[in-house]
Amino acid sequence: MNYLEDFNWRYATKRMNGKPVPAEALNNILESTRLAPTSLGLQPFDVIVVEDAELRRLLSPAIYNQPQVNEGAALIIFAAWKKISPDKVDAYIKNIAVTRNTTVVALEGFKNMILDSISGKSDDQVFQWNARQSYIALGYAIAAAAFEKVDSTPMEGFNPAEVNRILGLEEKGLSAVSILAIGYRDEEKDYLANAPKVRRPAESFFTIYENEPVA
């Protein structure tokens, strides 16, 4: 049950101490985002890692000067695809064929199903769907950071248009959706560092329908 201890240990860290995250731990966190499930397996988002201190300082005003941006070791930015082009679907199908030792022709039905599902959505609907997929990966990153005993702070409080401009995301057909700052807590400055975790009690949080025995 160590993972429950890790989840109890983690919190949305408010102040960090500038200590770098070891490369192995960072790579494990990032690989966890790559392994996260997505609808149709399409992974319709990119993950941008900003370790460079100067670029983080440049981004800071667009993230409302939250101290974790500069005090942390890196920012992990989840940027959803604004559209799903046929080229991206083709690349996905080819990747499946290579990975699973099959043919593109054998996957034609699956490809057409993906294209049909996209064609019935507006650009905004597609983007919102892609954004929701990215949040699954964000959750995996938060969990993996806790397992690595790396602190993290998920952020939605930022100016997406400005973050997109600084990182040139619009030109790549992307828009920032969420940001995860990672690093290590500063227990002297962070008023929440030793505070008990506050969550709803289980009895008011869960609703469980149990099977009745068949008469």
**Rounded Cα–Cα distance for residues 146 and 28 (Å):** 11
Q: Decide if pLDDT at 21 tops 80.
A: yes
Listed by start position, the domains of the chain span 2-205
CB 89 within 8 A of CB 115: yes
Of the candidates 87, 82, 88, 75, the residue with the CA atom closest to the CA atom of residue 172 = 82
**Rounded Cα–Cα distance for residues 172 and 67 (Å):** 28
**Rounded Cα–Cα distance for residues 110 and 196 (Å):** 48
**DSSP H or E stretch at residue 151:** strand 151-155
Residues in the chain: 215
What average pLDDT does this structure show over 186-204? 96
At 214 the pLDDT is: 66
CB 170 within 8 A of CB 202: no
Task: Sort residue 151 into left (φ over 0), alpha (ψ -120 to 50) or beta.
Answer: beta
Number of H helices, E strands in the chain: 9, 4
**Rounded Cα–Cα distance for residues 29 and 23 (Å):** 10
Q: Decide if pLDDT at 213 tops 80.
A: no
According to DSSP, the β-strands at 174-183 and 151-155 are: antiparallel
What average pLDDT does this structure show over 41-45? 97
Q: Decide if pLDDT at 212 tops 90.
A: no
Q: Decide if pLDDT at 1 tops 80.
A: no
At 70 the pLDDT is: 98
CA 61 to chain centroid, in Å, comes to 21
CB 150 within 8 A of CB 29: yes
Q: How confident is the model at residue 215 (pLDDT cuts 50, 70, 90)?
A: low
Of the candidates 182, 144, 169, the residue with the CA atom closest to the CA atom of residue 31 = 144
pLDDT tens column, 53-87 = 999 999 999 999 999 999 999 999 999 999 999 99
At 120 the pLDDT is: 86
What average pLDDT does this structure show over 133-140? 98
At 77 the pLDDT is: 98
- The DSSP letter of residue 164 is H
Quote the Cα angle for 54-66-5, to 5°.
105
What is the average pLDDT score of the chain?
Answer: 96
In DSSP terms, 152 is beta-bridged to: 12, 182
Q: How confident is the model at residue 101 (pLDDT cuts 50, 70, 90)?
A: very high
At 122 the pLDDT is: 95
CATH architecture type of domain 2-205: 3-Layer(aba) Sandwich (3.40)
What helix, strand, coil percent values describe the chain, rounded to 5? 50, 15, 35
The one-letter code for the residue type at 47 is: V
pLDDT tens column, 156-194 = 999 999 999 999 999 999 999 999 999 999 999 999 999
